Amino acid sequence: MTRPGEVRLMRRSEIVWPSATWRIPAKRMKMRRPHEVPLSTKTLAILRDIWPLSEGHELVLPSIRSLRRPLSDNALNSALRRMGYAQDEMCAHGFRAAASTILNERGFNPDVIEAALGHQDRNVVRRAYNRAKYWPERVKLLQAWADLMDELKRLAVTNPHAA
């Protein structure tokens, strides 16, 4: 549920394996506040698979042209186009909206969803007093989201018309 730019610029040093956490520094966040992301078991498995590909370098997802440079701004959208998604169907940033919509419709706590998205409360007074990070709930939320993505993938493979 992070922004595409945050994903593209992910650093190896930001992944905290023992706590299954990704610590994004404030300078890379839209609101200029550090953001911690609980990593689902699926995300951890993917990271373990790709980790050796950038060994000895800073970026987790480097460009194909240079291990020192990040993926381009358009790399994720280009991958979606190659998968057959048209521009008006999906973009990389659209996964944030899709996750928020689907998780809200499934009854997850909206405050937890907003925290997972790295959003600040719009109500200035509430934002000043509510410093909750909803960590245990976010761990469950992101695992549920990853599990749902796995289920949709499984359905699409076994029955292309079901998903």
Out of 57, 81, 96, 140, pick the active-site residue: 96
The reply to whether 30 belongs to the active site is yes
CATH topology of domain 4-158: hpI Integrase; Chain A (1.10.443)
The reply to whether 35 belongs to the active site is no
The pLDDT of residue 22 is 97
The pLDDT of residue 33 is 87
The reply to whether 134 belongs to the active site is no
The reply to whether 3 belongs to the active site is yes
pLDDT cut 70: percent of the chain above it: 91
Question: What is the C-alpha separation between 54 and 1, in angstroms, rounded?
Answer: 23
The pLDDT of residue 30 is 87
Provide the residue ranges of all domains of the chain, joining segments of one domain with +. Answer: 4-158
Kindly give the parts of the chain with pLDDT less than 50: none
The pLDDT of residue 32 is 87
Out of 33, 48, 129, 154, pick the active-site residue: 129
Chain segment 102-137, per-residue pLDDT in tens:
999 999 999 999 999 988 767 665 555 556 688 999
Q: Whose structure tokens read 């970026």?
A: 59
Can you give the pTM of this predicted structure? 0.86
The reply to whether 129 belongs to the active site is yes
The pLDDT of residue 119 is 84
Out of 68, 69, 93, 106, pick the active-site residue: 93
